[in-house]
């Protein structure tokens, strides 16, 4: 069986480094925050090209605490795509604000800046683009809309660790960037984890307070509402051990994507994912009219695949109020996208049988 993704295979590959990282925490006395978290925050800030990084408990917390730190709350609307993971919109609800879903571009599958501009109204407080599957959203255009209307810009970088746009790191275009280290992410821990990256020192300080009971810096006095949303030392130590491998892992993902592309390019029935120099292929999602049939065919051949995301968020009961207009491009992608294995430890030696199985199905359909 070829799994769609496999954190255990990644753990096996880097087991000596992970064991040493865990042993370091077990041999110490700090299990929450402490020097391991500080060391990871410093290293990840440098990697991201941001001045500050604050480790938090998950990607959803990274988004929610960024929004709160930017003063977003009840009465505010936050514009985001509906083609994303539920956590993106949950974070908005957590702050008492409302998600406002807008259309994505058919080509990039990321939020459409012109749809964002159309949706801005008197209650709009922020724009939250998602770099879906590791592909950059059009940040210069989104920054222009945000600046024109004095809106906060929060990048959901949960799927784009290390990605760039025209040579510049994603996550540095907005006011804050939110990362998830869920185990399947390009940089993933062995449990939950997340981080906020920003160049704004005050914003970072507010997130630091919010992640820990609203404590004032260096003490245990609550100055404001806060949460328990800290990054564990053991996860931070693992992330610090895996960070040096991230760039090579992203390059491997790009190489695997190029191999898939060569197999599928001649086949018009397959919609290929967009390519960009700085894309880090968190997923390789192709589009096919009979997505569910293709998924069943692959499963019968022992190949795992995954649907990202159906239903799209504007169809989730929790977010039904979120779409002011129909989202036909989002719906069409949601009905046709299928993510093939791309994690290097899973896909490196399996591209050919996977591609063959896909082409076999597509050929059978068109004969
Ligand atoms: C685009 C996106 N946003 C937010 C999240 C939420 O992250 P977490 O699961 O760490 O809370 C995820 C991932 O899981 C995601 O893929």
**Domain end position, chosen among 191, 218, 244:** 244
**Is there a single domain that holds both residue 57 and residue 70?**
yes
Rg (CA), the chain: 20
Q: Which atom of ligand 1 is the closest one to the Cα of 132? A: 1
- Do 291 and 361 share a domain, yes or no? yes
Same-domain status, 251 and 231: no
- What the block records as the tokens of 228 is 């328990």
Q: Do 153 and 70 fall within a single domain?
A: yes
Chain-wide mean pLDDT for the chain?
97
Backbone angles phi, psi at 176, to 5 degrees: -150, 155
Mean pLDDT of 97-107: 98
Give ligand 1 pocket residues (Cβ under 6 A). Answer: 58-60, 84-85, 87-88, 130, 156, 158-159, 180, 182, 192, 194
Q: Is 325 within the bounds of a domain?
A: yes
Question: Catalytic residue among 100, 131, 143, 185, which?
Answer: 185
**Is residue 55 a contact partner of residue 36, using CB atoms and an 8 Å limit?**
no
Number of domains in the chain: 2
Domain CATH code at residue 308? 3.90.1150.10
**Residue 141 scores a pLDDT above 50:** yes
- Is the same domain home to 171 and 259? no
Residues β-bridged to residue 215: 222
The model's pLDDT over 271-326, given as tens digits with 9 standing for 90+, comes to 999 999 999 999 999 999 999 999 999 999 999 999 999 999 999 999 988 787 89
Structural contact between residues 207 and 226, judged by C-beta atoms closer than 8 angstroms: no
pLDDT tens per residue, range 192-248: 999 999 999 999 999 999 999 999 998 999 999 999 999 999 999 999 999 999 999
Q: Is the pLDDT assigned to residue 366 strictly greater than 60?
A: no
Q: Which of 57, 59, 110 has the most ligand 1 atoms within 8 A of CB, as the residue to mutate?
A: 59
Instruction: Indicate whether 76 and 118 sit together in one domain.
Output: yes
Last residue of a domain, one of 244, 267, 298: 244
> Checking phi first, is residue 325 left (phi over 0); if not, alpha (psi -120 to 50) or beta?
beta
Is the pLDDT at 367 greater than 70? The verdict is no
Q: What is the pLDDT of residue 325?
A: 86
How large is the average pLDDT for residues 250-256? Answer: 98
In a domain, 307, yes or no: yes
Final residue before a domain boundary, out of 193, 227, 244? 244
Same domain flag for 250 and 233: no
Q: How confident is the model at residue 364 (pLDDT cuts 50, 70, 90)?
A: low
**Centre of ligand 1 from the C-alpha of residue 59, in Å:** 5
Structural domain for 332, as ranges: 245-366
Q: What is the per-residue pLDDT across 21-64, written as a single tens digit (0 to 9) for each?
A: 999 999 999 999 999 999 999 999 999 999 999 999 999 999 99
Q: In a mutational test of the pocket of ligand 1, which residue from 81, 82, 178, 182 has the highest number of ligand atoms less than 8 Å from its CB?
A: 182
287: Cβ–Cβ under 8 A, 6 or more apart, which residues?
A: 270, 271, 272, 333, 336, 337, 338
- Do residues 79 and 19 both lie within one domain? yes
d(CA 334, CA 262): 24
CB 22 within 8 A of CB 36: no
* Length of the chain counted residue by residue: 367
Q: Is residue 2 part of a domain?
A: no
CATH of the domain at 133: 3.40.640.10
Distance between Cα 219 and ligand 1 center (Å): 30
Measured distance CA(303)–CA(95) in Å, rounded? 40
% of the chain surpassing 90 pLDDT: 97
Structural domain contains residue 1: no
Q: Are residues 45 and 149 in the same domain?
A: yes
Same-domain status, 195 and 255: no
Provide the pLDDT confidence category of residue 72 given band limits of 50, 70 and 90: very high
At residue 189, does pLDDT exceed 80?
yes
In this structure, are 292 and 213 located in the same domain?
Answer: no
Same domain (yes/no): 189, 208: yes
185 part of the active site:
yes
Other CB atoms within a 10 A radius of the CB of residue 213 amount to: 17
């Amino acid at each position: 069986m070829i799994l769609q993704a496999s954190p255990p295979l990644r753990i096996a590959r880097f087991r000596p480094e992970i064991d040493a990282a865990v042993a370091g925490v077990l041999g110490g006395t700090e299990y929450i925050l402490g020097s391991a978290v500080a060391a990871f925050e410093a290293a990840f800030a440098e990697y991201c090209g941001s001045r500050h990084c604050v480790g938090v408990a998950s990607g959803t917390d990274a988004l929610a605490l960024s929004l709160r730190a930017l003063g977003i709350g009840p009465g505010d609307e936050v514009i985001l795509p509906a083609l994303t993971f539920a956590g993106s919109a949950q974070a908005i609800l957590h702050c008492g604000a409302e998600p406002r879903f807008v259309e994505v571009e058919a080509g990039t599958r990321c939020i459409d800046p012109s749809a964002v501009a159309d949706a801005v109204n008197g209650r709009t407080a922020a724009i939250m683009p998602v770099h879906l599957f590791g592909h950059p959203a059009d940040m210069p255009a989104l920054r222009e809309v945000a600046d024109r209307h004095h809106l906060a810009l929060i990048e959901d970088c949960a799927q784009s660790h290390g990605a760039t746009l025209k040579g510049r790191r994603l996550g540095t275009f907005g006011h804050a960037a939110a990362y998830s280290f869920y185990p399947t992410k390009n940089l993933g821990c062995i449990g939950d984890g997340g981080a906020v990256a920003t160049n704004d020192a005050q914003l970072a300080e507010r997130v630091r307070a919010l992640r820990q009971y609203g404590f004032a810096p260096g003490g245990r006095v609550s100055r404001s509402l806060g949460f328990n949303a800290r990054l564990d030392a053991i996860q931070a130590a693992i992330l610090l051990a895996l960070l040096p491998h991230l760039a090579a892992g992203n390059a491997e993902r790009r190489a695997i994507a190029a191999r898939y592309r060569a197999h599928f390019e001649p086949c018009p029935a397959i919609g290929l994912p967009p390519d960009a120099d700085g894309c880090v292929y968190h997923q390789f999602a192709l589009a096919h009219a009979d997505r569910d049939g293709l998924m069943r065919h692959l499963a019968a051949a022992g190949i795992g695949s995954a649907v990202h995301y159906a239903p799209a968020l504007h169809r989730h009961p929790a977010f039904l109020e979120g779409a002011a207009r129909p989202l036909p491009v989002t719906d069409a992608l949601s009905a046709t996208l299928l993510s093939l294995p791309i994690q290097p430890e899973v896909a490196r030696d399996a591209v050919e049988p996977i591609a063959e199985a896909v082409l076999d199905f597509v050929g059978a359909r068109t004969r």
